[in-house]
Amino acid sequence: MSVLEGAGLHLSYGAVPVLDGASLRLGAGELVGLIGPNGAGKSTLMRVLAGLARPSQGAVSLDGKPLAALPGRARARALAYMAQGRELHWPLTVERLVALGRLPHLGPFQRPGAEDEAAVARALERCDAAHLRGRTATTLSGGERARVLLARALASEPALLLADEPVAGLDPYHQLQVMEVLREGALAGTGILVVLHDLVLAARFCTRLALVHRGRVVADGPPAAVLEPGLLEQVYGVRMAAAEVAGERVHLPWSRI
């Protein structure tokens, strides 16, 4: 039962404050959507929680221990991170790229075994990318890359997964498919934090939402509580339209204020 927690996080890029006392907790079995406008600090908050950026104030802990104090291999086994950028610089096959997700489980010079191969196969299948396994990763479309990079993160079978905009650039079918994969992972016990801009997907699939505005988490709770039209209008600067589809309430940006 892993718990990742950031408390009172501050971080600036030069003279520009990006995080201003942000706090967030991610526990096992949760699918938490990190939402908010562009430039709010979502990706920076995720990088700090992943241990990839150091806050000037505040602390990040994993199971009550300082994240920065954990050995790199132990941290990599517990926590997987999928970045927003999808640049690939080496012409590896998709299968070999996804197999990199197993490195935290291997010792020095240890070759992958049957368990590792099975984990790679499961991840490719879950992300609808098994048919791409022999392709050179640098030849993939943006949407195909997104699914393959998610498969790499899933192949590590982490206790916690942080995914920054995993559905950006995907067609509607694969947006739903990726969100279903994340929901299944959470139901199986993985704690998942995902940056999303689509509020409909956030409401449908996430167990909890954290709304980031000007470097702070200004709302954190069940989707119905966070997706309050007045709050969304204040944060996003748009008027929201609400509708009911198949018994579920959806919120759509309708007009700029």
**Residue-level pLDDT, tens digit, the chain, 257 residues:** 689 999 999 999 998 999 999 999 999 999 999 999 999 999 999 999 999 999 999 999 999 999 999 888 889 999 999 998 878 888 999 999 999 999 999 888 888 899 999 999 999 999 999 999 999 999 999 999 999 999 999 999 999 999 999 999 899 999 999 999 999 999 999 999 999 999 999 999 999 999 999 999 999 999 999 999 899 999 999 998 888 888 887 888 899 99
Same domain, 191 and 249: no
Same domain, 116 and 182: yes
pLDDT for residue 1: 66
The whole domain housing 252 covers: 227-257
What total of structural domains would you count in the chain? Answer: 2
Which two tokens mark 33? Answer: 């959507």
Please count the residues of the chain.
Answer: 257
pLDDT for residue 17: 93
HEC-encoded secondary structure of the chain:
CCEEEEEEEEEEECCEEEEEEEEEEEECCCEEEEECCCCCCHHHHHHHHCCCCCCCEEEEEECCEEHHHCCHHHHHHHEEEECCCCCCCCCCEHHHHHHHHHHHHCCCCCCCCHHHHHHHHHHHHHCCCHHHCCCEHHHCCHHHHHHHHHHHHHHCCCCEEEEECCCCCCCHHHHHHHHHHHHHHHHCCCEEEEECCCHHHHHHHCCEEEEEECCEEEEEECHHHHCCHHHHHHHHCEEEEEEEECCEEEEEEEEEC
Same domain, 147 and 249: no
pLDDT for residue 252: 86
Same domain, 146 and 167: yes
Same domain, 220 and 238: no
Same domain, 153 and 106: yes
Q: Are 158 and 77 in contact (CB under 8 A)?
A: yes
Same domain, 187 and 241: no
